[in-house]
Amino acid sequence: MHSFLSRANAVAAYALSVLACLTFLCFLSTLFIDYRTEASINTIRTIVKSISNYNSDRKANDLGHITVDLRADLSPLFNWNVKQLFVYLYAEYETSSNSLNQVILWDKIIRRGENANLNFKNMNLKYYFWDDGNGLKGNKNITLTLSWNIIPNAGCLSHVNAVGQHSFSFPDEYTIAKQ
């Protein structure tokens, strides 16, 4: 006869195997869902300032200020396997010193059951739009993109870009700060 501990071990191992198989089947049931949706992004106001660095041996850097309108309905992305969304707005641009620059300007975590309809008008950005030189002034091709990571209950962490981007340009002159 088997002892109580060996029987408990067999039951626990069997239960763990069944749960692992069920979790894998849950992952497979949402693997091929298309999580893209349309987003509308529009810039309202764009200015660029030259901010001197605290170190006197370094040059001044560009600081961009943007006010945006952002609309996207992310509620269809939620299903039983989506726990939350990490949504972020980022800018992508090219300068003479770097062929690809990406800066996250705004982010938000949306949990299941919360309002997933983004409708912001004249929204100021959450993070500073710094450039490590003078790449913002007069830059004619800056692209804003809304993206999100899907945090599932079971499965892979997905990275999805929204359908629709917005391109804009910064002014050719620096804005003088009010004294």
Tell me the domain boundaries of the chain: 1-32, 33-168
CATH code for the structural domain at 33-168: 2.60.40
At residue 81's C-alpha, the angle toward residues 153 and 145, to 5°, is: 95
Q: What is the C-alpha R_g of the chain? A: 24
pTM of the complete model: 0.85
Tell me the backbone φ, ψ of residue 177, rounded to 5 degrees: -70, 145
Summarised one tens digit per residue, pLDDT across range 2-59 is 899 999 999 999 999 999 998 888 888 888 889 999 999 999 999 998 887 665 556 7
**What per-residue confidence (pLDDT) applies to 26?**
83
**What per-residue confidence (pLDDT) applies to 58?**
64
DSSP 7-19: HHHHHHHHHHHHH
Beta partners for 88? 107, 147
Q: Alpha-carbon distance 65 to 179, whole Å? A: 18
Q: Alpha-carbon distance 165 to 147, whole Å? A: 10
What tokens does 72 get? Answer: 């996207």
Summarised one tens digit per residue, pLDDT across range 71-82 is 999 999 999 889
